[in-house]
Amino acid sequence: MPTILTQNWLTNLILPIVALAIASLSAFAVWRHRWFSVRPVLSTYTWFLVVTSVFSLIIYFLQVPETFRSTACRGYFLTYYSTLIITCFFSVAVLYEFLFRMADTNKSIQRTAVFGFVITISIITAWTYGLIKITSSATETLAQAARLFNGLTTMALLVSGTVIFAIKMRRSLHLEPRLSIVLATLALYSFVDLLVGFVLRRSEQITVILDDLIWIAFATLLYWALKNGPATSGAGELPPTA
C-alpha cells in the first residue's frame, strides 16, 4: 500500500486517470448508442474495465491503518488476481462474439463461435490447473494461477484471432474496418504487453510506463470504434442514435 501520494505519481496516478477518462468515454458511448442490445459481451467488458480502473484508483488513495494493513493487502491481492482471471475470460469471450456477430444468420458459424469459446476456455483452464499442480505451493496458488491463466490466454488470443480472421476472409464475412482494428487489437494487446515486459524486464519503471501507454492506446482505439454507434450491417444491429 502506498503511503506517500507523490510516489510514482506518473504511473500510479496521472496515466491511470487518463486511461480511466478514455475508458469512461467508451462506457458512455456504449450506454448512449445502446450497444448492450447489439454486442452485450463487448459492452459488459467495456464497463468492467471502467469499474476495475475506478477501484484501482480508490486503492491507491486508500490509507489503511497499520493494524489492518496485512489483511487489507491480502484482500487486495485476492481481488487483483481474481480480476486478472476474469479479464482474461472476458477477452476471449469478446473475441468470439465478433465471430458470432459476423455470422449474421449463419447457424454453422455461430456454433463455431460458441464451441470455439468453450474449447479455448477449457484448454486454458485445464493447462492452468495442470501446471499449478506441478509448480505451485498452496500459499501461492491464486497468484500463480492468475499469471499462468494470463500467459496462456495471451497465446490463445493470438491463435483465436488468427482463426477468426481466416474464417472471416474465407467466408467473406463483413466487419467494419473500425471493429476489425478492435478485433486485431484484442488479439494482440496482451502479447505486446508481455513482450514489452520481457524485453525491458531489467527496467521496471520504463516497463510500467510503457504498459500504461499501451493500455491508453488500447482504450483510445476502443473509444474510436464505439463512439459512432453500432455497425448497421448484420442482423439485429441498430443504427447510430442522434
pLDDT tens, 155-195? Answer: 999 999 999 999 999 988 988 888 898 899 989 888 888 88
- SS3 assignment, position 65: coil
CA gap 229, 206 in Å, rounded = 36
CA 233 to chain centre: 25
- Residue 103 near residue 111 (C-beta atoms within 8 A): no
pTM value? 0.79
Q: Where in the chain are the domains? A: 9-226
CA gap 41, 43 in Å, rounded = 5
Q: Does the structural domain 9-226 have CATH classification 1.10.530?
A: no
What is the mean pLDDT of the segment spanning 219-233?
Answer: 78
CA gap 115, 118 in Å, rounded = 5
Please state which of the ranges 17-21, 53-57, 107-111, 144-148 shows the lowest mean pLDDT.
Answer: 53-57
Listed in sequence order, the residues at least 6 apart from 9 whose beta carbon sits closer than 8 Å to its beta carbon are none
- pLDDT per residue over 101-138, tens digit each? 998 888 999 999 999 999 999 999 999 888 887 765 55
CA gap 203, 31 in Å, rounded = 40
Sign of the CA dihedral running 37, 40, 45, 47:
positive
- Residue 225 near residue 181 (C-beta atoms within 8 A): yes
CA 179 to chain centre: 15
163 burial level (CB within 10 Å; 0-12, 13-18, 19+)? middle
- The percentage of the chain sitting over the pLDDT mark of 70, rounded to a whole number, equals 80
Say what the pLDDT of residue 239 is. 40
Half-sphere exposure of 71 (CA within 13 A, CB side): 5
CA gap 102, 163 in Å, rounded = 14
- Residue 95 near residue 153 (C-beta atoms within 8 A): no
Residue type at position 130: G
* Ramachandran bin of 39, using left for φ above 0, alpha for ψ from -120 to 50, beta for the remaining angles: beta
